[in-house]
A and B are shown apart, each in its own frame.
Chain A
Amino acid sequence: MSLLTFTDRGIYCPQADVYIDPWKRVEKAVITHAHSDHARWGMGAYLSHYYSAPILRQRLGQDIRLQTVGYGETRTVNGVHISLHPAGHIPGSAQVRLEYQGEIWVVSGDYKVVADGISTPFEPVRCHTFITESTFGLPVYRWQPQEEVIGEIHDWWQANAEAGKASLLIGYALGKAQRLLQYLRDDIGPVYVHGAIALVQDALRSHGVPLRAVTQVTPDIPKEAYRKSLIVAPPNAIGSAWTRKFGAQSLGMASGWMSIRGARRRRAADRGFVLSDHADWDELNQAVEATGASQVFVTHGYSDLFARWLREKGLDAGVVETQFEGELSEINESGAEPDPEVKTETAP
Chain B
Amino acid sequence: MKHFAHLIESLDQTTKTNAKVDHLVDFFAAADDPDKVWAIALFSGKRPKRTVSSTLLRQWAAEASGFPAWLFEESYHVVGDLAETVALFLPPPTDSTETRTLSEWMDLLQSLAGVEEADKEQAILAAWRSLSTQERFVFNKLITGGFRIGVSQKLMVKALARHTGQPENVVSHRLMGNWKPQTIQFHDLLFGQDAGDDLSRPYPFFLAYPLENTPDTLGNPADWQAEWKWDGIRSQLIFRENTLFLWSRGEELITPKFPELETLAASLPARTVIDGELLPFKNGSPLSFQVLQTRIGRKNVTKKILADCPVVIMAYDLLEWQGKDLRELPLQERRAILAELVLTVGQSDLLRLSPEVTFNDWDQLADLRSQARDHLAEGLMLKRRSSAYQVGRKKGDWWKWKVDPLSVDAVMIYAQRGHGRRANLFSDYTFAVWDEDQLVPFAKAYSGLTDAEMQQVDAWIKRNTVDKFGPVRRVIPELVFEIGFEGIAYSPRHKSGIAVRFPRMLRWRTDKKAKDADHIQALRELLGSEIPP
Contact = CB atoms under 8 A, between A and B. Distances in A.
Contacts of B423: 260-263, 266
A265 interface: yes
Interface in B137-155: 137, 150
A138 B455 contact: no
A236 B499 CA distance: 43
A305 interface: yes
A168 to B, nearest CB: 15
A196 interface: no
Interface stretch (B11-19, B116-124, B166-174, B196-204): B11-19
B84 to A, nearest CB: 6
Contacts of A262: 79-81, 418-425
Interface in A250-304: 259-266, 268, 270-271, 302
Contact of A263 (B65, B68, B424, B508): B424
Contact of A139 (B12, B75, B418): B75
Interface stretch (A56-64, A170-178, A185-193, A324-332): A324-332
Interface stretch (B107-115, B206-214, B393-401, B456-464): B456-464
A312 B67 CA distance: 11
B458 A266 contact: no
B417 to A, nearest CB: 10
Contacts of B463: 346-347
A331 B13 contact: no
Interface string B253-279: 000000000000000000000000000
B369 to A, nearest CB: 35
Interface string B66-89: 011011001100111100110011
A270 B81 contact: no
A78 B4 CA distance: 65
A266 B12 contact: no
Contact of A346 (B12, B418, B460, B510): B460
Most buried by B among A264, A265, A271, A330: A265
B459 A302 contact: no
B88 A347 contact: no
B451 interface: yes
A138 B425 contact: no
Contacts of B424: 260, 262-263, 330
A160 to B, nearest CB: 12
Interface of B: 12-15, 65, 67-68, 70-71, 74-75, 78-81, 84-85, 88-89, 92, 137, 150, 418-425, 451, 455-460, 462-464, 479, 508, 510
Given A260-B424, A261-B79, A262-B424, 13 more contacts: A140-B75, A142-B92, A262-B80, A262-B419, A262-B421, A262-B425, A264-B12, A265-B420, A266-B425, A266-B451, A331-B459, A347-B463, A348-B460
11 contacts: A140-B75, A140-B85, A262-B420, A263-B423, A270-B13, A270-B14, A302-B78, A309-B68, A309-B71, A347-B460, A348-B510
